[in-house]
């Protein structure tokens, strides 16, 4: 009775997995081709959200209609959903922490660049601090 609905869920899951595979390949190509670390962050986010969260949701959908797995289909489905949720929360936080410390510690040259507003802001703040010290003395 539920056959058409199950076919739809299976097709949706397969489409999500295919989109994920494409995003993953695009992210990997960008990771190799892009010129510096801060541009590669963009490719990394495509590769981790588009290439990991979306196919994991697709795996959860596919597993939930695969009766050849028996009762364990719910284990695969739930595990894939939990892994997707964890990656969705964790990947942006991790790449943001990396970007913050890479810029703050000046371990990565920002090259090639058009302008670096964060660096200009920090320099202006440092100059203001030096000026205030000079007035006190």
Partner 1 sequence: MDTSPILSIFLPVIFAVFLASFTLYIVRIVKGPTVFDMALAVDCLAFDLAVFIALLSLYYDTPFLIAGAIALALWAYILDLYISKYFLTKELGGHK
Interface contacts to partner 1, rule CB under 8 A = 3, 6-7, 10, 14, 17-18, 20-22, 24-25, 27-29, 31-32, 37, 40-41, 44, 47-48, 51-52, 55-56, 59, 62-63, 65-69, 72, 75-76, 79-80, 82-83, 86-87, 90-91, 93-95, 97-98, 100-102, 104-105, 107-108
User: Could you give the residue ranges of the DSSP H alpha helices within the chain?
Assistant: 3-33, 37-45, 54-64, 73-104, 117-136
Q: Which residues contact 83 (CB under 8 A, 6 or more apart)?
A: 56
> Cβ closer to partner 1: 5 or 132?
5
């Amino acid at each position: 009775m539920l056959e058409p609905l199950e076919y739809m869920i299976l097709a949706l899951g397969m489409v999500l997995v295919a989109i994920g595979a494409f995003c993953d390949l695009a992210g990997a190509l960008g990771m190799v081709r892009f010129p510096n670390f801060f541009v590669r962050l963009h490719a990394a986010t495509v590769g981790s959200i588009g290439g990991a969260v979306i196919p994991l949701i697709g795996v959860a959908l596919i597993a939930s209609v695969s009766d050849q797995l028996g009762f364990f289909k719910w284990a695969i489905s739930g595990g894939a959903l939990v892994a997707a949720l964890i990656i969705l929360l964790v990947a942006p936080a991790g790449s943001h922490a990396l970007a913050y410390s890479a810029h703050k510690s000046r371990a990565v040259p920002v090259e090639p660049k058009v302008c670096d507003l964060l660096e200009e802001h920090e320099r202006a703040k440092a100059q203001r601090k030096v000026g205030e010290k000079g007035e006190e003395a």
